[in-house]
Amino acid sequence: MDMLSKIRRAAENDLATLFRAKELMSAPKALKELEQWERLYREIKTPSGGVIYLSDKANESFLRLVETVGANLPSRDFVLSDDIYQACKMELGRMYEQEAPQKTIAPFLTSLEAAMQRKIMMHRFYTTLDGLSLCGVDQMRIGRLNVQTPDLAILESCVANEAMISGTWARMKRGLWISAEITGSRGYAERRFFEDVKAACGLLAVSLTTVLERGGCAVRLTPSMDGRVRPSAATWFSIETLSNELCTSSSMKGFQSITLDASHVEGLQTSEWFSELTKIIQGDSDSDAEHAVRRAIYWFFDAQADTSAEMQLVKFWSCIECFFSFENSGETTSKIKRGLTALLTLGDFGFSSLETWRDLEKEIEALYDLRSRAVHDARHSHVSDSDITKVSKWAAWAILEITGLISKGHDSRVKIKEQTDRLSAMLQKQGDGVKP
């Protein structure tokens, strides 16, 4: 665990501060001087059940020490910052019970690394997915993730009592399952898993939006996760008083399940752009352009999963802004209008025809104005399904076009902007009667 001498000295000074008696508070003193939540925040528990509280200075030293540990721990890429924070508290509690604890940073880091290694293991996560079904095929691979039909045998092979297995099956037998194996602490692995799930669902949503007539209005892929309500989880019903007929409703407006058969699955998995997008969303590249695509896929997932028309429109525009809203010097609308028009008209996929590019440009400006009214003027009920369909398709095809540019070596938004500026100039010449 190599560390610069300057950083080592600072860390050991912080560690020394945490062992000065005057910087530690007893429980009665903490009770008198600190509010309840502040006491809990500064509390250090020892293995035997004792409690010590940090003074203002000691707490500042502790937070700096946690930051230093987080930057130098070998296992830092497989754990959460909270894992490190809690481990530092536990290690300090253990050291407070020692007669002569070592107050140098090396053994402190060694002990923490050992604690982290005990937390790091392989986890296999499963969650449910509504809005999609498979026909004629049991599973579909999306990089390291697997989309499959529910399988009771997987639950029955686990170490658990029968009630837990049957209860889990009752909640998860509907829809599809998404699974992946991730190494790390449980908290880290769970967070990484759901990041992958959102990205995979975003990728599928982009794919479906490009081919469905209603675009993003016809897609709603909803994985079971924190902050997401399954379509079956919130329903209501009514009874016609004359006929006594039961009518049920779902909180998911316009929800439908899209079926992929074996040919659809094979078509996606063999598609060059699908493979490229999978590599981008699951890769660790620091390329500015790939970061932009990952952000766009996140917003696409969030947009298609939303139930508010206004927020769907805003979020689909956020996908597009990932590529065009930078270095604009206050000309965001103009840059988006021209860049998106050029990309959709002269890009490899030819989403729009050359003859109608001016109409497309006007439509882009009008629908971006709807977004601005929602964001800046708090307008609502001014967005139609047709508006969402159009913007979702623009966003989906823009993501595909940008992916194509990345595969050709455009690894930054600056390079992408240079290309879209060139295409835009070609369109302007077309408008002036010059053939591009």
For residue 203, pLDDT over 90 is answered with yes
Same domain, 49 and 115: yes
Same domain, 49 and 66: yes
Same domain, 204 and 325: no
Last residue of a domain, one of 119, 138, 158: 119
Same domain, 259 and 199: yes
Compute the distance between CA of residue 360 and CA of residue 340 in angstroms, rounded to an integer.
Answer: 9
Same domain, 260 and 127: yes
Last residue of a domain, one of 270, 303, 333: 270
Question: Which residue in 274, 271, 301 sits closest to 199, CA to CA?
Answer: 301
- Does some domain include residue 387? yes
Same domain, 291 and 344: yes
Q: Is the pTM of this model over 0.95?
A: no
Which comes out higher in pLDDT, residue 250 or 294?
A: 294
Average pLDDT score over residue span 208-214:
93
pLDDT tens digit sequence for 38-52 = 999 999 999 999 999
Same domain, 218 and 314: no
Element (H, E) at 332: helix 332-346
What is the count of structural domains for the chain? 3
Q: What is the DSSP letter of 257?
A: P
Which parts of 94-152 are beta strand (E)?
121-130, 132-135, 139-142, 145-148
Same domain, 115 and 138: no
Same domain, 109 and 66: yes
Average pLDDT score over residue span 74-96:
96
Give me the pLDDT at residue 87, please: 97
Q: Which amino acid is at 355?
A: E
pLDDT tens digit sequence for 119-162 = 999 899 999 899 999 999 999 999 999 999 999 999 888 888 89
Q: Which amino acid is at 42?
A: R
pLDDT tens digit sequence for 352-388 = 988 899 999 999 999 999 999 999 888 888 999 999 9
Same domain, 10 and 84: yes
Last residue of a domain, one of 119, 134, 169: 119
Compute the distance between CA of residue 114 and CA of residue 128 in angstroms, rounded to an integer.
Answer: 35
Same domain, 373 and 412: yes
- Does some domain include residue 67? yes
- Does some domain include residue 277? no
Q: What is the extent of the structural domain holding 31?
A: 5-119
- Does some domain include residue 397? yes
Same domain, 14 and 149: no
- Does some domain include residue 324? yes
Rounded percentage of the chain residues whose pLDDT exceeds 70: 91
Tokens of residue 415, six digits: 């390079």
